A and B are shown apart, each in its own frame.
Chain A
Amino acid sequence: MTSLDLTSEEAGDELVDQTEAGSVTRSQWRLFLRRFLRHRLAVLGVLIFVALLVMSFGARWVAPFPKNAQNLTDLTIDGPGRDHLFGQDELGRDYFTEVLYAGQISLKIGIAVAVLSTALGVAMGAIAGYFGKLADGILMRVTDAFLLVPSIAILAVAFKKFGNSDIAVALVLTFTVWMTVARLVRGQVLTIRELEFIDAARIAGASSTRIIVRHLVPNMVGPIAVNATLAMVNAIVAESTLSFLGFGIQPPDTSWGNLLAQTRGYLGTSKAYLLYFPCLFIILAVLAISFIGDGLRDAFDPESKK
């Protein structure tokens, strides 16, 4: 996405900020926030994402009907309408309610994978980059190996072995997306560890762990956060894809991908709207998160004008 690029006016703002603000960290944070808020699409992304979260996790209060409640008196209701916003599925369940509840698992998996894969990737990348030599060689070959193996093959088999609970799906997906963070962090560490302040910390007697945790990682927060949004997008799409192929979340649990799998037969019939809504929610979530990622990138690194 194009950033709404920095104008000279904003450059002026930044100068003012730096001279006025008392504390450096606070001023940096405010600069960051200001740049982020300038990115209109990112703000829109945050709004959409929060709305999705509230609607899914607050489904008990937001949804017009209880989960799985069947309207057995009138199965003829077809298509979206006033009472049933997204229509009704073949079992007489309100589809709006179903889609909201399905979002719980999809979003939960997305967030869990973003957090877990970032933690794993940062650890691997930082260790490889900081210690170098043998540790680097081994860890990077393992990273390459994971990048190589088609993740769909790992996922499909792993699910058969470890079950299809949302926790299992999140854990298994984590193992297929942590590599990009690891490579990114390693590259950053290779540059940062040569800087003087790392030497200074070492001379002051800081342990390797302390240097990594207190000096290296905080300096890479930007790229790591941007990458976490990417991981979340990948996880949501991968989860929906797998559930769609029949390997991921299984009924009676529902996710957006799994709703799609259940309704794919309706393509081309009058009930085809059952397919549109889960699709729409997946696309909304993915777009919102990517916009947030773009905003974060611009806010952390005003130089980048991709």
Chain B
Amino acid sequence: MTAYIVRRLVQVVVTIFFALTFLFLLYFALPGDAATLLAGGDGRVPDPVTVRQVQDRYGLDDPLPTQLASYWQRLVQGDLGQSYQSGRDVTSLLLEAAPRSIRLSIWAIMIEVVVGISVGLISAVRRSSLIDRLSTAVTAMASAVPVFVLAFVLQYLFAVIPEDQGWADFFRFETSGRGDDTWLLFFIPTGNTWRYLVLPAVTLASVSAALAARTARGSMLEVLGADFMRTAKAKGLRDREVLAKHGLRNAMLPVVALIGLDFGTSIGAAVLTETAFSWGGLGFYIAESVRRRDLPVLLGFTTVVVLAYCLINLLVDICYAWFDPRVRLRAGTAK
């Protein structure tokens, strides 16, 4: 087990190095950009003297390896620089935005796990029933609809229509912002916050929930056909016990792995969801910083997202290896 963890850690460190270097080069090293921006802003032609001053001040004129080295040096010390736009520390922006994203994703993951997995399991157990066909069609649709389209539809159904039709206040959800933004125990909404939370959480959960449902259905079907299920039945266990104790446990492994891996897609989805609902989390700021060409903010936020993604995947992998010894023994050759 220790050998496995060490091997994975080394892999993760190398991957992070590649990823962040790539990001840095993409953002800063391509010609002319950052300095022009700082000196004059997007779309204007600034005074060449100012551009030179800016280059000197921020070291943008140094040879690439020097710039890269100083980026890494600052990163290791936890210094992510200041925003070009507001001059604020990227770290303080991060501390403000991250909890919002984490709260939203906690709810999205809960919806994904509860709805996605149970739908998948039910349709596997009741294969070819009406429920199965219906859920297969819905999950196919849900993975075909782009996130922002879904956001539109939800906003229309639950905010525009109730407004037009003058429905009771209780049925109206909010489509923008975070309301009172008050939380109990970090993630339980209080006051009117929940009205703002429902729609983005559902939107964010939708794609992953569909994927989880498909995976759960597939792996449960596979497990249902396994020899050990027949054995369990033959030794006299009731159907319910066979399913819960022997089926579920084995069927859940791929789903757990998926939820970890899927974090990557949900970052993309989060950018869209948070933009569509003005949620003000990491995704919102990433989109915003791209639009305003605020490179330090963009780099800082993506760095944090990359690190979080790596850590979560590492944890999932370790859990996986812990549950299923085949993984850690096989992992020597193929990953």
Contact = CB atoms under 8 A, between A and B. Distances in A.
Nearest to A288: B144
Contact of B152 (A148, A156, A246, A267): A267
A142 B147 CA distance: 28
Interface in A181-205: 187, 190
Interface string A213-241: 00000000000000000000100010011
Given A1-B136, A241-B272, A290-B140, A149 B19 contact: yes
B293 interface: yes
B267 interface: yes
A157 B305 contact: no
Size bin of chain B's contact surface: 35 or more
Of A145, A158, A187, A286, most buried by chain B (CB within 10 Å of CB) is: A145
Nearest to A275: B152
A50 interface: no
Nearest to B161: A268
Contact of A245 (B15, B19, B275, B302): B275
Contacts of A240: 146
B170 interface: no
B302 A149 contact: yes
A246 B305 CA distance: 22
A214 B152 CA distance: 49
B36 to A, nearest CB: 12
Given A287-B140, A305-B221, A157 B27 contact: yes
B298 interface: yes
Contact of A283 (B27, B145, B164): B145
B11 A153 contact: no
Contact of B302 (A150, A187, A306): A150
Contact of A287 (B33, B141, B146, B335): B141
A267 B155 contact: yes
B237 to A, nearest CB: 25
B220 to A, nearest CB: 11
Given A1-B136, A154-B26, A149 B306 contact: yes
Contact of A157 (B152, B264, B298, B335): B298
B140 A145 contact: no
B83 to A, nearest CB: 16
Nearest to A144: B15
Interface string A125-156: 00000000000000011101111111111101
Given A145-B18, A148-B309, A190-B334, A153 B152 contact: no
B30 interface: yes
B14 interface: yes
A245 B291 CA distance: 9
Given A153-B302, A247-B290, A287 B264 contact: no
Interface in B244-268: 264, 267-268
Contacts of A290: 140, 143-144
A241 B148 contact: yes
Nearest to A147: B264
Of A150, A154, A187, A240, most buried by chain B (CB within 10 Å of CB) is: A150
B293 A160 contact: yes
A25 interface: no
Contacts of B272: 241, 245
Nearest to B272: A241
Contacts of B133: 2
B290 A157 contact: yes
A157 B140 CA distance: 31
Contacts of A260: 148-149
Contacts of A283: 141, 144-145, 149
B132 to A, nearest CB: 8
B218 interface: yes
Interface in B132-185: 132-133, 136, 140-141, 143-149, 152, 155-156, 160, 164
A292 interface: no
A115 B309 CA distance: 29
Interface in B116-143: 128, 132-133, 136, 140-141, 143
Contact of A267 (B143, B156, B290, B333): B156
Contacts of A1: 136, 140
Contact of A241 (B146, B152, B306): B146
Contacts of A156: 287, 290
A279 B149 contact: yes
Contacts of A150: 264, 267-268, 271, 286, 302, 305-306
Contacts of B141: 283, 287
20 contacts: A2-B128, A144-B15, A144-B19, A148-B15, A150-B267, A152-B271, A154-B26, A158-B26, A190-B334, A264-B152, A267-B152, A267-B156, A267-B160, A268-B156, A272-B156, A279-B145, A279-B149, A283-B145, A287-B141, A290-B143
Given A140-B335, A152-B268, A283-B144, 9 more contacts: A145-B16, A145-B18, A148-B309, A151-B268, A153-B286, A157-B26, A157-B27, A267-B152, A279-B149
